[in-house]
Amino acid sequence: MLAELKSHLQNSLSQALAVALPDQTLPAASSLGFDRPKQASHGDLATNVALQLAKPAGLNPRELATRIVAALPTSEWIARAEIAGPGFINLFLTPAAKLAAVKLSLQQGAAFGRSTLGGQQHVQVEFVSANPTGPLHVGHGRGAAYGASLANVLEYAGWKVTREYYVNDAGRQMDILAVSTWLRYLALFGVAVPFPPNGYQGDYVKDMARGLQDKVQNGYLKDATIARITADAPDVEADKEGHLDTLIANAKKILGDDWAVVHRYVLDEQLADGRDDLAEFGVNFDVWFSEKSLFDNGDVERAVAELAKRGHTYEKDGALWFRSTDFGDEKDRVVRRENGIYTYFASDIAYHANKLQRFDRVIDIWGADHHGYIPRVKGALQALGLPTEGLDIALVQFAVLYRDGQKASMSTRSGEFVTLRELRAEVGNDATRFFYVLRKSDQHLDFDLDLAKSQSNENPVYYIQYAHARLCSVLNQWAGDVSSLQSADLSKLESEREQALAQRLGEFGDVIESAARDYAPHQIAFYLKDLAADFHSYYNADRVLVDDESIKLARLALCQAVRQALVNGLSLIGVSAPQTM
């Protein structure tokens, strides 16, 4: 409900409690809550405060509820109060209370629904952060849509938000991409090394190889031969990973300083592609944080040294292990291998330590398959003496795309994947963004392409956008000054449908705050569906542009207020609000 209405009801209830229980210690007015009954006949709002306070007061709950109702002060916003069941108090609101949201939406416009809940606390939302080893696929798309929507909602609800992408530009996966590209480059000159089955296989690798050829011509042929590249490599069938590691090592020797150039080239190509793809999807980042920088500035080394200093590591088989079982993990974890190279886990520890120093709160958005990673990361931070309560991790189930009833494979290494760009081209940005956030993030999502592309009431994004287009059509037919609707006489909105639509409008702020608190932008998608349904029902039953001028202006005011809420809500989840369809 509107903040002003909520405060008024809390204060009214608090005054009644003071009369009903003069000798009791009572809860603060601001802590008093209200729920919405499932049945309209049970009122607009309900409170169970009588059930909560009856026992310490030594009273029967219904008796206490009777006292509270009798003591409620006269209010222009409370029509009546009734007692139900064992002692619930049902409140019935006046039309003025229900219509207050219309006036507020007209006054606040693009700020309607905004909140100060976050108190400008600085929060970082880190999301997507896919290895830059290939195009983003439809699985990454859900994390992108969820993270961007969550960041928007938090910002709208009063947090200061930084959107961050963690670039995995150090480590073996980038080496694999670099050697895969170089091998494809060599093949263009007739040096056809048998391509490793666990290299990156996609056509985009061949595209990068041709780009490298355009860039340096034959400059990276060196004295490469099949025999030299595969020298000392174990049999690929017996040891695929060892075979690939040897190819990487030999490539580094053959290329020398040029290896770093190839490595940088493939990284830049894939980062640029990902950046463009995400920007076209309406997903932008404030910070692109380099994993390599953590090694270059010594953060990884310092973090591991601090763990050792605090007694949380031990050496075994030449490697350095973190005692993560002491912090709830299923087994201890290596932070430095026997060859002296730090693991991904070590750099993740350093990165999270860095983040907790920069922000009041950190939200990581991970794929649900990383669930087991949570205790080891939090355990490492705890071992470093850092406040783990400042870290929240939201899990996102990868979306599964079905085309013609067939499940599409999404393996980056094999090259058999459906890209986010392809999905967007097929169903459009709006449907893609909406469908991705239509379910709770940790719930499985089957992406129904046929539904996403359909122009029917069964397609929720079409249904909501059509409501907005209808509203724009009505306002355009009127062709008046929308700002003048602030002075419309809203008391003319007397019908049940009008007041129900206005009351739904009043829920928008609560939905924003709930979505922010629960990290749940899907709540906004659900709300928009309900608001659109209420409007379509109203539109199909009542004419807006009637002859009576005062009624017409009141109904136009309601239409403009609802239109504004649809625009504000859709923008938070990255969906457009077309004026015509």
- 395-442 per-position pLDDT tens digit: 999 888 887 888 866 555 555 678 899 999 999 999 999 999 999 999
Beta carbons within 8 Å of 211's beta carbon, 6+ residues apart: 265, 269
- 96-105 per-position pLDDT tens digit: 999 999 999 9
> What average pLDDT score do residues 481-501 get?
95
> What average pLDDT score do residues 183-201 get?
96
- 40-61 per-position pLDDT tens digit: 888 999 999 999 999 999 999 9
Q: What is the pTM of this model?
A: 0.91
The number of CA neighbours under 13 Å toward the Cβ of 574 is 31
**What pLDDT shows up at residue 322?**
98
- Comma-separated ranges of CATH 3.30.1360.70 domains in the chain: 3-93
Residue 161, phi then psi, degrees to nearest 5: -115, 135
- 271-286 per-position pLDDT tens digit: 999 999 999 999 999 9
**What pLDDT shows up at residue 413?**
53
Nearest-angstrom CA–CA distance, 445 and 430: 17
Nearest-angstrom CA–CA distance, 166 and 272: 14
Q: How many other C-beta atoms lie within 10 A of the C-beta of residue 243?
A: 19
Say which amino acid occupies 92: F
Nearest-angstrom CA–CA distance, 468 and 430: 14
Q: With the C-alpha atoms ordered 436, 440, 442, 443, is the resulting torsion angle positive or negative? A: negative
Q: With the C-alpha atoms ordered 226, 229, 231, 236, is the resulting torsion angle positive or negative? A: negative
**What pLDDT shows up at residue 411?**
57
- 223-243 per-position pLDDT tens digit: 999 999 999 999 999 999 999
Instruction: Please give the mean pLDDT across all residues of the chain.
Output: 94
The CA-based dihedral angle spanning residues 136, 142, 148, 151, taken in that order and rounded to the nearest 10 degrees: -140
> What average pLDDT score do residues 3-29 get?
92
CATH topology of domain 3-93: Gyrase A; domain 2 (3.30.1360)
Closest CA to 123 of 144, 151, 95: 151
**What pLDDT shows up at residue 416?**
63
**What pLDDT shows up at residue 408?**
67
- 364-385 per-position pLDDT tens digit: 999 999 999 999 999 999 999 9
- 318-352 per-position pLDDT tens digit: 999 999 999 999 999 999 999 999 999 999 999 99
Residue 63 has pLDDT above 90, yes or no: yes
CB 247 within 8 A of CB 230: yes
Give percent of the chain with pLDDT exceeding 70. 98
- Per-residue confidence band for 303, with pLDDT thresholds at 50, 70 and 90: very high
Closest CA to 322 of 391, 386, 377, 366: 377
**What pLDDT shows up at residue 23?**
87
Nearest-angstrom CA–CA distance, 53 and 71: 16
Residue 511 has pLDDT above 80, yes or no: yes
The number of CA neighbours under 13 Å toward the Cβ of 86 is 10
User: Kind and range of the H or E element at 573?
Assistant: none
**What pLDDT shows up at residue 471?**
98
Nearest-angstrom CA–CA distance, 359 and 398: 28
**How far are the Cα atoms of 123, 271, 329, 347, 378 from residue 365, in angstroms, in the given order?**
13, 19, 20, 17, 14
- Comma-separated ranges of CATH 1.10.730.10 domains in the chain: 457-572
Residue 90 has pLDDT above 60, yes or no: yes
CB 130 within 8 A of CB 141: no
Decide: helix, strand or coil at residue 520: coil
DSSP class of residue 237 equals T
122-126, 146-150, 404-408: which range is least confident on average? 404-408
CB 322 within 8 A of CB 352: no
Residue 17, phi then psi, degrees to nearest 5: -65, -40
User: Kind and range of the H or E element at 18?
Assistant: helix 3-20
**What pLDDT shows up at residue 410?**
55
> Using DSSP, how many helices (H) and how many strands (E) does the chain show?
22, 14
> What average pLDDT score do residues 107-132 get?
96
> What average pLDDT score do residues 154-158 get?
98
The tokens describing 222, both together, are 């060196």
Residue 296, phi then psi, degrees to nearest 5: -65, -35
**What pLDDT shows up at residue 401?**
82
Architecture per CATH, domain 457-572, reads as: Orthogonal Bundle (1.10)
